[in-house]
Amino acid sequence: MGKDVNQYVLSLLETYPETSKRIELMRYELYSSMVVSPQEMIEVMSFSKKDAEANAKYPHTVPEIALCYKEIAQRLNHEVAESVMETYVSMIRERDRLHHRISLLAPRQAEIIQEYYIHRNSWGDIAKNMGISLRTAYSTRQQAVDALVQMYTFTGAVFDGPEE
């Protein structure tokens, strides 16, 4: 499990910029354009059945058709938004967990993790800005990753139960 958690933590750190971009794209879509268009609605309501059951089931008057259109559009918009919202919230929670755990690291460890993985600065720039050698920067990064792995392992054991 230790190796799996280590790979998981490294994956979270390495994909942080892409994850943040996806969260922002999903946020925009949720708040801006998550609606079924009239054209999509017409396609949905183009019923191919011509039998008596289909004719009795669907409305024939203009007000009934409008009400049916509105109900179907609301249902489709709700289903799509619910699905996207579930993914969006999951991604935000995982990113927030990572931020919280980084904030629990020693200040120098947290700074190196943020500078390298979140801000995407080079090792040379990080070492220069922090006034440390490259070797110290690498070592501190490894200590920080190890500490994050311990945090994820601990919370996994507490909330997921002991391994069998």
Residue 160 pLDDT = 62
Helix, strand and coil percent figures for the chain, each rounded to 5: 80, 0, 20
pLDDT for 74-104, tens place per residue? 777 777 777 788 888 999 999 999 999 999 9
Q: Please name the residue that has the structure tokens 């009239």.
A: 38
pLDDT band at 66 (very low <50, low <70, confident <90, very high): low
Pairwise CA distance, residues 153 & 162, whole Å: 11
Q: Is 35 exposed, middle or buried (0-12, 13-18, 19+ CB in 10 A)?
A: middle
- The number of angstroms, rounded, from the C-alpha of 40 to the middle of its chain's C-alpha atoms is 27
Burial of 11 (0-12, 13-18, 19+ CB in 10 A): exposed
How do residues 17-43 score in pLDDT, each as one tens digit?
999 999 998 888 777 765 656 566 666
Given a cut of 90, whether residue 161 has pLDDT beyond it is: no
In whole angstroms, give the CA distance from residue 1 to residue 11.
15
Average pLDDT over residues 134-145: 97
Q: Using the predicted structure, report yes or no on whether residue 6 has a pLDDT greater than 80.
A: yes
Q: What is the DSSP letter of 131?
A: T
